[in-house]
Amino acid sequence: MTRKNFLVTGLLGSFGALVALVQSRCSGSTTPPPPSTSKTFTSTSVNAHTHTITIQKSEVESPGAGGISRQTSSNGHSHTFSMTQAELLSVNTGGTVVVTVAVTDLHQHDITITKWF
C-alpha cells in the first residue's frame, strides 16, 4: 500500500465514522420538546401590515372572569385585542376562535386563536 492510498483510506474511514456518529446523535431523541408556555399569533394583513398578540398558556387554561384585553401595535397605530372567558375556554377545549380587533384608522384585523399545547 502506498503512502497516498494509506492516507486516502484513513481519511475516508474517519469521515465514515464521523457521519455514523452524527446520525446516531440526530436519531437518538424521540421525545418531542415540551409545548411553549406562550404563543404569538399574527393577524390578517390589512393595508399592507399585520399585528401580533401573545397569549400565555395559563390565560387559556384558567381564564379570569373578565377574559383578557391588551393593545397590539404596528405601523404607527394600535388596536385593542380582547377575548372573553368563554372564548378562552373554547380554545382550551380545542376550539378555534377568530377575534376581530377594534377598529383603528378606519380598518380592523382578524386574529385566529387555536390551542398550541
What's the confidence (pLDDT) of residue 43?
Answer: 98
Question: pTM of the predicted model, to two decimals?
Answer: 0.72
- The H-assigned helical ranges of 3-94 are 3-26, 57-61, 85-92
pLDDT under 70 in the chain at which residues? 1, 3-29
What's the confidence (pLDDT) of residue 97?
Answer: 98
Q: Which residues make Cβ contacts (< 8 Å) with residue 113, sequence separation at least 6?
A: 41, 55, 83, 87, 91, 96, 97, 98, 99
What's the confidence (pLDDT) of residue 61?
Answer: 98
Mean residue pLDDT of the chain comes to 86
- Can you tell me which residue has the cell 421525545? 31
Q: Are 50 and 71 in contact (CB under 8 A)?
A: no
What's the confidence (pLDDT) of residue 80?
Answer: 98
Helix (H, G, I), strand (E, B) or coil at 13: helix
